[in-house]
Amino acid sequence: MSSTVSSAKGLINEFLEWFGDLGLFFWQVVRAAVTPPFEFRELLRQLDEIGSKSLPLVALAGAATGVVLSLEARYSLTRFGAKSLLPAAIVFSVIHETGPIITGLVVSGRVGAGIGAELASMKVTEQIDAIEASAVNPYRLLAAPRILACILMLPLLTLAADLCGLMMGWVAQALVEPLSLRQFINSGFKGSDFNDFLLPTFKTAVFGLIIGLIACFQGMRTRGGAEGVGRAATSSVVLSSLFVILADVVLVKFIIIFFP
């Protein structure tokens, strides 16, 4: 019993220590990011790396989600005699929740692993130490552009996922029962306004902050050679995905309470 309590205390202490180190890392990144010179060239490169190269995967995931939602919602609503609500169910499901969380998880898998492995390999080969020796702040050069690029690109990628999900949801619906795109849009967006979709889309900027921050943190604190690189990539994906899901729960509750 005592050993179980001791191990539990050890895990709690490790978690609190990790969280404290993450907070200090975030403060160092913020302080470096607002101090000139600014790394605009590196930021543009990361915007392309994170945004453009993630777009096909995000669009495919969004399209698949739209098809699945259309099939499942049609079956469920038909059972309860509410088939006319199918377009609205698809639109609200995709834009309010499915599109943002799918985008966050897909990007955390691709980008989180990439950033974690890239920075970890630079750490174990002492490239980051060489950057510091050259009087260049590695937080400004390596971490800040990647985190900022994640924050900026996640809402745009979410819009792409939403668009693909809605289009494929309409296609799946039209293949079963003839329905024009105009009818689908009019029925789906009836009774809603712009604010219904603004907050769910921009909450993914928080997902981007989480993904970029955790991936950079795990990568830049790596030790142990090639094995450490693998652990950094894995932990970046697992932790960023977990915190994205937890953040989504908190943000959904926040939006419901303060923006009903």
Report the pLDDT value the prediction gives residue 221, as an integer from 0 to 100. 86
Q: Where in the sequence is the domain holding 142, given as residue range(s)?
A: 39-258
Q: Is residue 181 part of a domain?
A: yes
Q: What is the pLDDT of residues 16-54, one digit of tens each?
A: 888 889 999 999 999 988 888 888 898 999 999 998 889
Q: Is residue 27 part of a domain?
A: no
Q: Is residue 10 part of a domain?
A: no
Q: What is the pLDDT of residues 50-78, one digit of tens each?
A: 988 899 999 999 999 999 988 888 877 77
Q: What is the pLDDT of residues 232-244, one digit of tens each?
A: 889 999 999 999 9
Is the torsion defined by CA of 220, 223, 229, 235 positive or negative? Answer: negative
**What does the pLDDT average to over 230-255?**
91
Is the torsion defined by CA of 223, 37, 48, 206 positive or negative? Answer: positive
Q: What is the pLDDT of residues 207-221, one digit of tens each?
A: 999 999 999 999 988
- Surface-to-core class of residue 122, CB atoms within 10 Å of its CB (0-12 exposed, 13-18 middle, 19+ buried): buried
Tell me if 189 sits within 8 A of 138, measured CB to CB. no
Q: How many domains does the chain have?
A: 1
- Answer whether residue 195 shows pLDDT above 80: no
Per cent of the chain over pLDDT 90 is 41
Which strand (E) or helix (H) includes residue 164?
Answer: helix 144-176
Report the pLDDT value the prediction gives residue 1, as an integer from 0 to 100. 58
pTM: 0.91
Q: Is residue 231 part of a domain?
A: yes
Cα–Cα dist 12/217, whole Å: 19
Q: Which of 120, 111, 127, 119 is nearest to 228 (CA)?
A: 120
**What does the pLDDT average to over 129-156?**
90
Report the pLDDT value the prediction gives residue 2, as an integer from 0 to 100. 60
Q: Is residue 47 part of a domain?
A: yes
